[in-house]
Structure 1
Amino acid sequence: MSVLKTGLAHPSRMRGIFRYLLHVKGQKENRDVLESILSPDKLVEHVPENKEKLKDKKMSHPMFNDALREIIKCKLLIEEDEEVAINPNLPQDAINPQLGDRLLPDTFTYLFFASDNEDEEDFGRVCAWYLAQDIYDAPGTWEEVEKRVSEQKVGNFLKMSSSRLFVQMDDWMRYLGFAWGHTLGGKPVTVPDPTAYIKRNLKHLFNEEQEITIQDFISRLAKQCPLFETGKFREEVEAQIGARETNFLSTSTAFALFRLQDEGDIQLERQSDSSFMILPKANNQVDNNGRISHIIWKGYKS
């Protein structure tokens, strides 16, 4: 079962467990001690199913237990001899007490989608499907998602069968940097926009180069996160809903690149005699009708 289908495995709960262990001695703790600190009995006394268990002091801590199970299953943490610890095999920056929490969204993204994690494949397909929607007409509520899933005939493929799954997808995609939300007419609406994820990873994507081709950029992006064009999950999705036109990016990826250019992080260029990709609905964002051959990284801003 993936985090998509484990409603109590919320990003904030899994993050809380990780943040605690990030700063304790040896980055490990006895499981019972960890439970008593992060999920004290007082927090669960009011839960109806625990009333009978109060008599013998045995309490149920479903939020903690579900979150811990999923965080161990994705290998962010390990459990051995009744002790829970941060996985020492993760990159050193990812478990650095000063950097680990800030890098956690990217650590989760790798562990969920780029590490051959079979448990999270359904989650990867759902995220890739959402990013493949037209950002200018994306389903922003459960009712709209349900309708779009039916129209595209991907119900059996995605297995998005309830509003609870949409809420879980929404929470995780926002935390990982693949979406954001706003309120429209008093109703919460979600937008599939991966700007935050791409922005965080520009340094890695450019790999100390200042200028790379758009093809190299997309290839590196898909390798690092297979939710994007040419990545494993996106290809599975496009096989279901129809492939993009040749050399076209999806509108969500194009929109993210437009935003990053507007914010001064990158520059999009069409160089003569070079292969190009088309960023749809470019409007006045770029010259050459959205035909882009190279991306220039402007480096960190002060």
Structure 2
Amino acid sequence: MSLIKTPEASPARIYAIYALIAQMHGQRLEIDLLKRMIMPSAFASPNLERNETDFIGKTIPEMISLGLIKHENNFLQITDTTIPKGSISSQVAILLPHVIRKRVLFSEEDQNEDLGRIIAWYLTQNPYRAPGNWKEVEEALLKQLNDKMECSSDARYGQFEDWSLYLGFTTRILKQLMPDPTKVIRYFLPELFHDSRTHFIDTVVHRLAKLCPVFEHGSYREKVKNTYGTEALLQGHLSQTTSYAWLRLQDEGIVDLRMKSDADVYVLTAQEKKHRYSEITWNGKVEEI
């Protein structure tokens, strides 16, 4: 299965399971005890059908496939070493989305390739006019791709929406979803500028594609483009969604976008207005580089 095909595996449920196990001695917890601690008492009733109520049981395999935990002798144990042992729940809440995002996009088994592809497609949309609910997304997929991809039902759309929000690729305004990867780019700034505060935009764009392949030139973005013939961006142009994120970071004072006459130019588009820049400076602290 995959996250998008398993509606029980919500971000909130995976976080709750992970955070609870992380607090246990040896980061290890017996499965039945875990269920009794997390599941509402009504779901523990012997009068209910197990396969209809065992939401935790259906979530566990997805966590195992993500490499977050392992199952051994009816116990679950955390195997991920990215989040330091002893982290409190608030620290887990901050770090876990970044861990899961990497596992989703770089799994050797491509277990969640369907989620990666739909996110890559959604990032090609105009953030100011993007489809923002299941009906609109369904119509846009059929119109643009003649294919619903794996987002083929309201339940699967719900998973796409929940996970794209949790992983930092979208935001919600007045109950409408919109593409906005600002959080993701902000997270990667220390890696993008690890060797210098200032880089040509072309360097940053290609580094970002390797760190997070749903962006321009990344493997997921290329798969969608090659499969469906979408997003015919001109050379040196960024999508409106990626442009929106960088311009937002500039408005927040986190980066500065500049134009140099002797450097290659990238065009960033905000609605109908085009901005031309050649380099990005990250205004991070010295110790962050």
Q: If the length of structure 1 is used for normalisation, what is the TM-score? A: 0.86
Paired residues of 1:94 and 1:104 also in contact (CA < 8 A): no
Deviation at 1:297, TM superposition (A): 0.6
Aligned residue runs from structure 1 range 21-100, under 5 A: 21-39=21-39, 42-44=41-43, 51=47, 61-88=53-80, 90-91=81-82, 93=83, 97-98=87-88, 99-100=91-92
Task: Quote how far apart the aligned CAs of 1:102 are.
Answer: 1.2
| C-alpha distance in structure 2 between counterparts of 1:149 and 1:172, whole Å | 18
| TM alignment of 1:151-162, pairs within 5 A | 151-155=143-147, 158-162=149-153
Offset at residue 100 of structure 1 (A) = 3.4
Query: How far is 1:115 from its partner?
Result: 3.1
Match of 2:244 in 1: 255
Question: Contact 1:180–1:191 at 8 Å: present in 2 too?
Answer: yes
The Cα offsets for residues 126-175 of structure 1, whole Å up to 9 and x where unpaired, read as 1111111111221111111111111113416x132112211111111111
Shift of 1:300: 5.2
Q: Secondary structure at the match of 1:170?
A: helix
The one-letter amino acid paired with 1:127 is I
Aligned residue type for 1:7: P
CA distance in structure 2 between the partners assigned to 1:69 and 1:95 by the alignment: 22
Q: Which residue is 1:269 aligned to?
A: 258
Structure 2 counterpart of 1:135: 127
8 A Cα contact 2:121 2:224, kept in partner: yes
2:85 and 2:93 map into 1 onto residues whose CA distance is 8
Equivalent position of 2:201 in the other structure: 214
Q: Would the aligned equivalents of 2:240 and 2:271 in 1 still touch at CA under 8 Å?
A: no
Aligned to 1:245: 234
Among 223, 246, 259, which residue is 1:236 paired with?
223
Q: How far apart are the structure 1 equivalents of 2:197 and 2:278? A: 14
Q: CA RMSD in A?
A: 2.3
CA distance in 1, matches of 2:24, 2:52: 25
Retained in 1: the 8 A contact 2:23–2:86?
Answer: no
Aligned to 1:179: 170
Q: TM-score, normalised by structure 2?
A: 0.89
* Structure 2 unpaired stretches of 5+: none
Aligned residue-pair number: 282
> Is the CA contact 1:111–1:117 (under 8 Å) kept in the aligned structure 2?
no
- Report how far residue 52 of structure 1 moved: 5.7
Q: Secondary structure at the match of 2:29?
A: strand
C-alpha distance in structure 1 between counterparts of 2:207 and 2:254, whole Å: 17
SS at match of 2:96: helix
CA distance in 1, matches of 2:60, 2:52: 14
Q: Quote how far apart the aligned CAs of 1:60 are.
A: 6.2
Q: Matched residue of 2:112: which SS?
A: helix
**Code of the aligned partner of 1:122:** D
Distance (whole Å) between structure 2 residues aligned to residue 205 and residue 174 of structure 1: 22
1:20 maps to amino acid: L
| Separation in 2, partners of 1:4, 1:202 | 28
- How far off is 1:12 after superposition? 0.2
Using the alignment, how far apart are the partners of 2:55 and 2:207 within structure 1?
Answer: 36
For 1:221-253, what per-residue CA distance to the aligned partner results, in whole angstroms no more than 9, with x for missing partners? Answer: 111111111111111112212432211111111
CA contact (8 A) 2:43 2:54 kept: no
Shift of 1:81: 2.6
> Given the alignment, which residue of 109, 113, 116 partners 1:124?
116
Seen in structure 2, the aligned counterparts of structure 1 residues 272 and 76 have a Cα distance that, compared at 3 Å, is same
CA distance in 1, matches of 2:96, 2:85: 9
Structure 1 residues not aligned, in runs of 5+? none
1:62 positional shift: 2.1
